[in-house]
Amino acid sequence: MLTGGTVSLNLLLSSSSGGQPAAFEWTFAYSTTDIVAIAASAGTAATAAGCLALLTLLFIQPLTRLILYASQSDLHSHILLVPFISGYLLHIWRGRLTAYHSSIAGTVAVGGIGIALRGSSGVEA
């Protein structure tokens, strides 16, 4: 029992069948005077998945045009393999990659520069 402190609970979800768990649920039994607050935060995998989903939604039109173009071109058809090869390389090098730190301000600044450059290039969506 920890009076006046905090306790972290790291959860690992796994499945014996090899599939990924879709949801989880648990029940706590405690005295309401013992616990003041409970907070949950997304881990790095959830954050990365959210960022990937957001980027995919933001760039869905150019990505769709690129996929359609690459699927019809003999010269550029290899473009479709780039994400899979990149994912494979990241997977096999995951232990050797150095950690990086990101900031929301830097992300917003780079995104703003990209949007400004796209707007000034005269390219229509």
pLDDT digits (tens, 9 = 90+) for 42-75: 777 788 888 889 998 999 999 999 999 999 999 9
pLDDT at 87: 87
Secondary structure (DSSP) of 1-42: --TT-----------TTSSPP----------TTT--------
Q: In angstroms, what CA-CA distances link 81 with 43, 88, 89?
A: 28, 11, 12
What was the pLDDT predicted at 84? 92
Q: Tokens 């869905």 belong to which residue? A: 60
The pLDDT value recorded for residue 61 is 93
Q: Residue 82: what pLDDT?
A: 92
Q: Which residues of the chain have pLDDT under 70?
A: 1-6, 9, 11-26, 28, 97-102, 121-125
- pTM (two decimals): 0.42
For residue 123, the model assigns a pLDDT of: 55
Q: How far apart are CA 109 and CA 89, in angstroms?
A: 28
